[in-house]
Structure 1
Amino acid sequence: MGVTDNPHPKGDLTLSAPKPPLSLIDFCHIYPGETARESMARSVTLAQRAEELGYSRIWYSEHHNMKHIASSAPAVLIAHIGAKTEKIRLGSGGVMLPNHSPYVVAEQFGTLGELYPDRIDLGLGRAPGTDMNTLGRALRRDANAADHFPQDVMELEGYLAGRSRIPGVEAIPGAGTNVPLYVLGSSLYGATLAAQLGLPYSFASHFAPTHLEHAVSTYRENFQPSEKLAEPYVIAAVNVTAADTHEDAVRQLQGVYRERVRSMAGRGRFLTDEQLDGIIESHHGRQIIDMLRYTAVGTRDQISGYLEDFTRTAQADELMISLQATSQEEAMRGMDILAEAWELDPAHTAGAPGA
């Protein structure tokens, strides 16, 4: 499928309900020739502009040993960006909980919750966020740690609610902050767990599109109300490449495809353009590109129409946008176009689901 196709997901072309809020996920991408410091400085600029435009929240994802991603420590990054912004919600998308002690995560995000009241989210994933060598030798993580994810989530929730399961142990800061938790996932596992615990669910359809509809349906059909959340709440992630002309948006997305294939298939090796073209045309290359299946590409009206349909397909209460561009300038312009297309309200202040 070519980038010029820009197919709509299934559904009508307009929404009957109000448009859901838009949020962003920022991978703190390090562009060629750039340093991590420059990447993080750009993340501050992006957050400030997103706040001005009316985006609801920005999440930062935990990755390790990835040369082009600077968000290895979401809590530290959130603390810095929180000091440079005023009202936009900031959170993890997510913290890979099996990499950490739930108690330490409660202290970190409890600290953030005290520093920035009613602005902090804690999205939780069970994947390692890295390669197996880094996982075992550098992070020193038990290969079976992910098996304890449900218990770790409940333990963490207890610390933040002031109901520690360990006598005489409290998270300070943390206890009583009730930082809202979100279960992240790309399969039925996370959907089922979020439904059982009565927590909001965020699906990673921006890079793992295959099980979107099944997972969301499973979550909604099996949701059990909790003291945190009375009704199911779905955040669905989707890629956006927006530009002033369709041709420019297509050019940008083609560049994104090439860099993604280069990074994932090249594994750090130098690839000539001819070699890269060959990989892109291969089955493996097409699989990598298909990870970005849910991508809105084009002008303001094209983006708006695609996202309206995607909202229905994903049964989404909120959209988490991954801006796909080949430079920060293009990403910033795309963010402006998207805000205009979605008619965001700069006066809007986001809250946690059910808040």
Structure 2
Amino acid sequence: MTASSTPLSLIDFCTIYPGETPRESMARSVTLAQRAEQLGYSRIWYSEHHNMKQIASSAPAVLIAHIGAKTEKIRLGAGGVMLPNHAPYVIAEQFGTLAELYPDRIDLGLGRAPGTDMNTLGRALRREANAADYFPQDIMELDGYLAGKSRIPGVDAIPGAGTHVPLYILGSSLYGATLAAQLGLPYSFASHFAPTHLKQAVATYRENFQPSDALAEPYVIAAVNVTAADTQEDAVRQLDSVYRERIRSMVGRGRHLSDSQLDEIVASHQGRQIIDMLRYTAVGTTAQVREYLEDFAKTAQADELMISLQNASQPEAMRGLELLAEAWELDPSRMVGAPGA
């Protein structure tokens, strides 16, 4: 078996398992990052979510600062910051600070979605309803701060100016693909939970890509779920548990539902629609997972795969992390940097 040339990265939602506190969840994220670094994963991203009881990554910059101090070389980034929730200037200062603390280790993925429900969006985040309309302009303003070429006379991001933190456009539709192509930036597609437009969006991005100072050639990161275990039977068991928990969080809404009730919902039309969000999932042993990911990389025309681990518990997720590294023959000496660097 020869090692794959496609880098593997991770998306960590800082999941809060039943009975856990956010503190315990974040401590586990440190352990995950340390082990991923030892195994040779290229980067870990943390996504901005709000008012979600199972996710503790509401403040990616703070989380990255903590994990950066506990690791040595693995790249860390936001996957992503939901830019319309913030002033570009503040994000430039935050990630400029991170770039100064951890040189050549920080990524900044940018999303247009709110990362929360509409009640939280309007009343707690106090975001204007049309904030997403200014996403392209906000990206250019942010890029100006990080490049030391502020678009507002007399206003510089300190720290931030001159750090050139690499920007990535996140998306699950043609909008993000088209924008990333126009700006000449790397594109990361959220196929781990929004699989429908993967092929069309990647094709649009590659066909319309315009080289920029940041990137000469298109670069695609495609996200994919992985449930790896020592046996196929155990992997299937774990994935079934993941399906139940997904249904519980999206349909149960705090109600106690037995496994049999959850299974009935999973088998329903509504349940199948929810489960289909995880359509791109590699499940099984090392050989099965490797074969699936090789096929997926071709389907997605991906330069890099970003893995969302889907296991029933943290110990099983750590075992899955190790099995995946074994399957892909990861080598810590081959960890990649930013595209175009």
Q: TM-score when scaled to structure 1?
A: 0.94
Equivalent position SS for 1:230:
coil
| Structure-2 residue corresponding to 1:280 | 266
**Counterpart residue identity of residue 299, structure 1:** T
Shift of 1:131: 0.4
| Structure-1 residue corresponding to 2:247 | 261
Q: Deviations over 1:43-90 (max 9, x none)?
A: 000000000000000000000000010000000000000000000000
1:291 aligns with 2:280: no
Aligned ranges for residues 1-355 of structure 1 at < 5 Å? Answer: 18-355=4-341
How many Å separate the matches in 2 of 1:320 and 1:197? 22
**Counterpart residue identity of residue 129, structure 2:** A
Shift of 1:348: 2.4
Q: Deviations over 1:23-54 (max 9, x none)?
A: 00000000000000000000000000000000
How many Å separate the matches in 1 of 2:292 and 2:328? 11
**Counterpart residue identity of residue 21, structure 1:** P
**Counterpart residue identity of residue 319, structure 1:** L
**Greater shift in the superposed pair: 344-353 or 102-111:** 344-353
Equivalent position SS for 1:235:
strand
Shift of 1:194: 0.1
Equivalent position SS for 2:278:
coil
Equivalent position SS for 1:291:
helix
**Counterpart residue identity of residue 40, structure 1:** M
Shift of 1:270: 2.5
Equivalent position SS for 2:19:
coil
Q: Deviations over 1:113-147 (max 9, x none)?
A: 00000000000000000000000000000011001
**Counterpart residue identity of residue 314, structure 1:** A
Kept after mapping to 1: 8 A contact 2:43/2:74: yes
Q: CA RMSD in A?
A: 1.2
**Greater shift in the superposed pair: 171-180 or 270-279:** 270-279
How many Å separate the matches in 2 of 1:215 and 1:137? 33
How many Å separate the matches in 1 of 2:317 and 2:40? 16
Identity percentage over the alignment? 84
Equivalent position SS for 1:118:
coil
**Counterpart residue identity of residue 206, structure 1:** H
Q: TM-score when scaled to structure 2?
A: 0.98
Kept after mapping to 1: 8 A contact 2:244/2:259: no
Change beyond 3 A, Cα 1:129–1:326: same
Kept after mapping to 1: 8 A contact 2:232/2:285: yes
Number of equivalent positions: 341
Gaps of 5+ in 1: 1-13
**Counterpart residue identity of residue 66, structure 1:** M
Shift of 1:281: 1.8
Kept after mapping to 1: 8 A contact 2:4/2:329: no
Shift of 1:18: 4.8
Kept after mapping to 2: 8 A contact 1:27/1:61: yes
Kept after mapping to 2: 8 A contact 1:88/1:350: no
Equivalent position SS for 1:347:
helix
**Counterpart residue identity of residue 219, structure 1:** Y
Equivalent position SS for 1:307:
helix
Shift of 1:149: 0.4
Greater RCO (CA < 8 Å, at least 6 residues apart)? 1
How many Å separate the matches in 1 of 2:285 and 2:150? 50
How many Å separate the matches in 2 of 1:19 and 1:115? 30
